[in-house]
Amino acid sequence: MIQRRKVIIGSLGVAAAAATAGTAAGCSSTKASADTNPVFTTPEAETEALATTPVAAPAKVTVTPAHGAKEWSPAKPIVVTVADGSLKSVTVTSGKTKIDGEMQSDGTWQSTEDLDYSKKYKVVATAADSLGASTTTTATFATLKPDNIARVTFQANGLASLKTGKNYGAGQPVIVAFSHSVNKAAAEKAIEITTSPQVEGKFYWSSDSTVHWRPAKYWARGTTVKVKVNAFGTKLGKTTYGGKNASTHFTVNRQLIAISDNRTHMTKVYIDGKLVRTMKSSLGRGGGTTGKNGESISFWTAGGPHVVLSKERYHTMTSASYGVQDKNDPNYYVSENVEYCTRITYSGEFLHAAPWNGQLGEANKSHGCINLSMKDAKWVYENFILGDVVDVTHSPRKLPIYNGLGDWTVSFDKYGRD
C-alpha cells in the first residue's frame, strides 16, 4: 500500500511538471488548461455535502390500547395514529378472526366493529416516512374478562316477549330483562327510551334483573315507543358487564280501556275515549278460603287497572292452580276447555265465556274471573291485544303490583325504582 501510494504521487508530479512546461512554451490555451486541471476534495467539503443530503424522521406509530393492555373494554374502538409519516396498512386479528376497520379523514385508522370479551388481539401497522421508508409496529392486548355477562331481552310481560314493531295496548309498560342481577342505577343509565309524542316516565324494578318503565298516563293513540339498551362494555355490577346492545320499538295504534264494575256487573269498553261495547258480566263472588300450604285465597276479582297478558282459545281452569287441591273441598273445581280466555293476572284472572253462569249482569258468581257470554267473550278475544287495560272498579281487594302488570295500580308520584 505504501509503495503504490508513492507511485501515484509520482505520476501526479510528472503531470504537474508537464503542465508547467507546456505553459512556458506557449503551446496551451486557457480552455485546455481548465479541462486538464485535477479536482481535489477536502474533508470540510465532504462534511458540507453530507449535511445537505435529505434525512427523514422515522414514522412513529401509536396503537390504542397500548401494547400489553389487559382490561380493554371491547366496546371501545382500536385507534392507530402516526406522526412524521402516513399509515399504509393496519391489520387486527384474534386467532383466525379479522377485525374490520377503516382510515379516517385525519389519517388515523379505527376499528369499525365491536370486539369481544375475554379475547387477545394483535395489531400490525405499517407506516412510511416522508421519503417512503417503511416502519412496522406490532402491539398485542387483551379485553375484559367478566365473571358474568348480563344479556338483554324485552318482555311484553312475564309470559310473553315483546315483538319488535308490533302494536300494543295503552297500558303496556317498557320491560327490560337482564340475564343476571345488575346495579340498578347503572342499568337505568344504559337504557334510552324515546317516545313520540314525548312523555315523562319512571322506572320500577320488579326484581334485581327486570325493570319496567311507564309514563304518567296511559299511552295515547298513535304513540311510538323506541327502546335502546347500551349494555355492551358497560359495568352493570361488581363482576357483571352488559352483553350486546339491544333495541326494540312498538306502537300504540289505539287506546282501549275496559271498565268492569263489580257493583253493576257490567263491563264497558272504550276505544279512544268512545264507548264501543257494553257487556253483562259476573265477577268474583267474594269471600275466600285457605290453600294447601296455609295461604289465604280470595274469591274477589282484584280491583284496579289490569293489563292483558295473553289470550287462549281454550283453557282448563282448576282451583288447584291457586292452592285448593282437595277434591272434597267445596271450593275445589275443574273446568276443562273454557273458551275465549283473555288473561289479566298471573294468578289466573281471565275474561272468558261462562255459558253456565245464568246471572251475568245480575250477580257476582265467579271465583275471581270476569264471566261473559260466549258472544262477548269471543269479541274480547278477537279485539283485545296485549297491553290493553281492564280496570276493575268497586272491588274491596286491590290488585298487587306484582300480579301481572299492576304498574298502573300505583300513582305516578309513588311509582319508583323498587
pLDDT tens, 129-176? 989 999 999 999 999 999 999 999 999 999 999 999 999 999 999 999
Contact in structure between 267 and 243 (CB atoms under 8 Å): no
Residue type, 382: E
Q: How far apart are CA 7 and CA 1, in angstroms?
A: 10
Domains contained in the chain, number: 3
pLDDT (average), residues 192-217: 98
Q: Are residues 264 and 389 in the same domain?
A: yes
Q: Are residues 275 and 346 in the same domain?
A: yes
Q: Which residue, among 258, 250, 243, 253, has the nearest Cα to 156 in the 3D structure?
A: 250
Residue type, 359: Q
Q: How far apart are CA 68 and CA 140, in angstroms?
A: 6
C-alpha distances (whole Å) from 41 to each of 8, 10, 45, 47 are: 17, 19, 6, 10
pLDDT of residue 8: 37
Between 55-64, 124-133, 331-340, the lowest mean confidence (pLDDT) is in 55-64
Q: Are residues 170 and 278 in the same domain?
A: no
Q: Are residues 287 and 388 in the same domain?
A: yes
- Examine the residue annotation and report whether 369 is marked as an active-site residue of this protein: yes
Which entry of 212, 265, 306, 369 is annotated as an active-site residue? 369
CATH assignment at residue 189: 2.60.40.3710
pLDDT band per the 50, 70, 90 thresholds, residue 55: confident
Which entry of 27, 352, 367, 394 is annotated as an active-site residue? 352
Q: How far apart are CA 233 and CA 231, in angstroms?
A: 6
pLDDT (average), residues 58-84: 96
pLDDT (average), residues 316-336: 91
pLDDT band per the 50, 70, 90 thresholds, residue 293: confident
pLDDT tens digits, residue range 351-404?
999 999 999 999 999 999 999 999 999 999 999 999 999 999 999 999 999 999
Reading the block at residue 246, the C-alpha cell is 339491544
Residues comprising the chain, all counted: 418
Confirm whether 387 is domain-assigned: yes
| Structural domain for 212, as ranges | 148-252
Reading the block at residue 165, the C-alpha cell is 314493531
- Examine the residue annotation and report whether 341 is marked as an active-site residue of this protein: no
CATH assignment at residue 326: 2.40.440.10
